[in-house]
Structure 1
Amino acid sequence: MEDEVDRLVAAWRRERPDLDVEPLEVLSRVGRLSRHLDIARRSAFAEHALEPWEFDVLTALRRAGAPYQLSPGQLLTQTLVTSGTMTNRIDRLAGKGLVQRLPDPDDRRGVLVRLTRAGQERADAALSGLLDHERAILAELSPAQRGDLAALLRQLVAPFDNLAD
């Protein structure tokens, strides 16, 4: 089975035989897959009237466990955005009734962001929809292949994640 990356690599090998284009065989596929995943995820979120960033914030709160609340700083760490961006996102989600701001009992100047019941229902439904889409994408791989691929990707991604720590 040939794909677009095979054609791209063959063309570079023909045009620039002096270069080792082997990295393209893996990373160009990862890049193309990333674009396809982005399209699939946007579709899955749209089915639940969510933008990707809304899903990120709501599911960060959902993963926190009851009472489904985090400080804005904790949300920043989990979603990798600036404080100004997070403030805007919290405002917009609060305006939709998906989160609420509460005073932080441990910090008189601080606030906590809590998932509302509507936010929890939306996050849960969107996650189920996303997983359905992602299972379909992985359907051609056996469970063992999925495990092997996850391990290999972890090996590539971990150094980047550890830089953020």
Structure 2
Amino acid sequence: MTPPKRYRKHVALTDLQSRRLTELSEFDGTDPMEHAKRAIDEYLQKQKLDFTPPKENDIRAEFRDHSGDANVQGAFWVSGTVDKYEFSALILKLPSKLGLDRGKISKVAIWDPEVLKNTGNFIGSCIVNYDRGWDIKPSKIAEPYFNKVKALLVQSAEQFIKNRFLR
């Protein structure tokens, strides 16, 4: 049997949560970690795990805008929508070793505009963020959206470069 995956993440409890956990453990004599594991198991059992991500063919992605980057010579920004999400990407004229798959896509972010509006936290609203390296890799749910955006960017990058730089 293979051991379960371990992730290098931790959960920080609030002071109130720590006090309540300590009180509960003192009351019944059970280890605080056992209470935490039970709470996590109970939470996971209530989750809906039968979600099926949409197929890439069913996802609609389109450009909304593109403009040159005043700070980077030979680069331009594109933005658009992919179903309910929005995306933004920095396309370079030439491939880069820091580009996505060593290509011309230097930065790409896909985010939920509703979450951004409600929280005001851009990174918290991102489902994908690549900024010369992965900040937020696409999850299984986000992967079809990322693949659709990436295909659109790769397909359109050459046309944008011809229009922008070869006039």
Report the TM-score when normalising by structure 1.
0.26
* Structure having the larger proportion of residues in helix: 1
**Higher CA-based Rg:** 2
Name the structure, 1 or 2, with higher relative contact order (CA <8 Å, separation 6+): 1
